[in-house]
Amino acid sequence: MIGSVGVALGALLVAFAPAAEAGGNPWIVREPLNIAHQGGEDEFPSNTLYAFRRAVRAGADMLELDIGVTKDGKVVVMHDTTVDRTTDGHGLIATKTLEQIKRLDAAYWFSRRGPDHYEHGRSRRAYRFRGIATGDREAPKGFKAADFRVPTLRKVLRKFPDTPINIEIKGRTEAEETAEYVTNAEALARVLTKVERQDLIVASFRQQAVDRFHELLPRFGLSPGTDGFAGWFLGGGSPGAGVVAFQVPITFEFGGQVLQITTNDTVARAHREGFAWHNWFGSGDSDAPPTWATLIDYCVDGIMTSRPTKLEKVLGSHAAPTSCPSG
């Protein structure tokens, strides 16, 4: 696809904005989007500009990223609420200023070896991008040191004006920290206040964060939190205002039972009711070609993969069914 679906989707989102208000949903597409989860964190350093550029170049139609908020209120792109797993720093994003975050090496612990691409303690040779961010190693041709640091959301939006982006609001996962998700939703709304793009989706596991963001900026499409999706999936109720897509795993373990979330029937039901369906991969799911082929056959609208280069090859060889709902 070489990003052609993403370009086409961007045009559709602009052209069909009035139709979406009337009940149409341009996120329901004929061929599933190749959505680079964290920019493709198994192939490239998570949530870096280098990863996003490489993923788009490899054919990704959409970028998926995560946001946190610094001590001084700046919105940065990072999956975890701490900087420990992927960078050379330590501590919570919320305890650091933007200037402190900018000094970190966001590719410090990335390795292409083994099942865990961010395993600490390997030999230095395993971390081939380490030191580029700090100038200790030369950047690959066409890239620069800043591409390996933690970017701000504003910078990513500027660098990728024509690439659809999925933005997940993060926060600490303890039950008492719901307030942090809501605070981060408010910070995200401040960043997006003057952004007029139609190709963004905002998501969070916490429904309170999604609801608060929608209160502030209702023009942006949403993926519901866990509560909103569960209400739709289990009870047939509304997933919440502003929802354009469900972003869910294939299976989900609950109460000692494994629930099959993604099936032909659930995808078809979502389409009938006007919602797109995007899959990410939970702990029991395989982010690999056989699974991708099954999802394509289910008529999903997007696959959030950590391996966008490899997914692109499967999308090029495994055609979507001709009977997929068009919305």
Instruction: Provide the annotated active-site residues.
Output: 37, 79
Contact 221, 201 (CB under 8 A): yes
What b/e readout covers 163-179, taking b as 16+ CB neighbours within 10 angstroms?
A: bbbbbbbbbbeeeeebe
User: Taking the CA of residue 249 as centre, how many other CA atoms within 13 Å lie in the half-sphere pointing to its CB?
Assistant: 16
Selection from 214, 223, 207 nearest residue 192 by Cα? 214
CA distances from 68 to 14, 21, 35, 99, 288 (A): 28, 30, 20, 15, 29
Q: Report helix angle 207-216 to 178-192, nearest 10.
A: 30
Contact 104, 150 (CB under 8 A): yes
Q: Is 47 left (phi over 0), alpha (psi -120 to 50) or beta?
A: left
Which strand (E) or helix (H) includes residue 100? Answer: helix 98-102
Structure-block tokens of residue 14: 């602009």
Structure-block tokens of residue 296: 């394509």
Integer Cα distance of 73 and 57 in angstroms: 32
Q: How many residues does the chain have?
A: 327
Helices (H), 200-326: 207-216, 226-235, 264-272, 289-297, 308-317
Cα 155 to chain center, whole Å? Answer: 16
What is the helix, strand, coil percentage profile of the chain, to 5?
Answer: 35, 15, 50
